[in-house]
Amino acid sequence: MIRKLGLLVPSAICLVVLWAVPALAGSELPPPNDPNVRGLVVHPPGATGGIAFTGGNVRMWMVLAVGLLVIGAALLIAGRRRRANAAP
């Protein structure tokens, strides 16, 4: 049970952190008390509309996290099988 929690808790923490990365992206908004608020809308180069661009690129890190999770689970299963076969 402890080993399952040892695998589940770090995986869940990594997943939550990787999902939160776009929200942690820097903001170019002026401070709330700035009297010089302008109505300028800035679009990233090549933007054609759609959802907002946050500057966060999480897809690569999510694929890496899932890959490492799969590799870790496979190594855990392989280690258990080797230990079961080696036991007298």
Residue pLDDT, tens place only, 24-68? 666 556 566 656 656 777 777 776 666 666 666 777 888 888 899
Q: Which pLDDT does position 49 carry in this prediction?
A: 65
Q: Which pLDDT does position 75 carry in this prediction?
A: 93
* Number of domains observed in the structure of the chain: 1
DSSP state of 30: P
Q: Does 78 map to a domain?
A: yes
Point out the least confidently predicted range of 17-26, 31-40, 68-77, 79-88: 31-40
Q: Which pLDDT does position 78 carry in this prediction?
A: 92
Residues sharing a CB contact under 8 Å with residue 7, sequence separation 6 or more, in sequence order:
72, 73, 76
Q: Which domain holds residue 7?
A: 1-22+56-88
Q: Does 11 map to a domain?
A: yes
The overall pTM is greater than 0.75 = no
Q: Does 49 map to a domain?
A: no
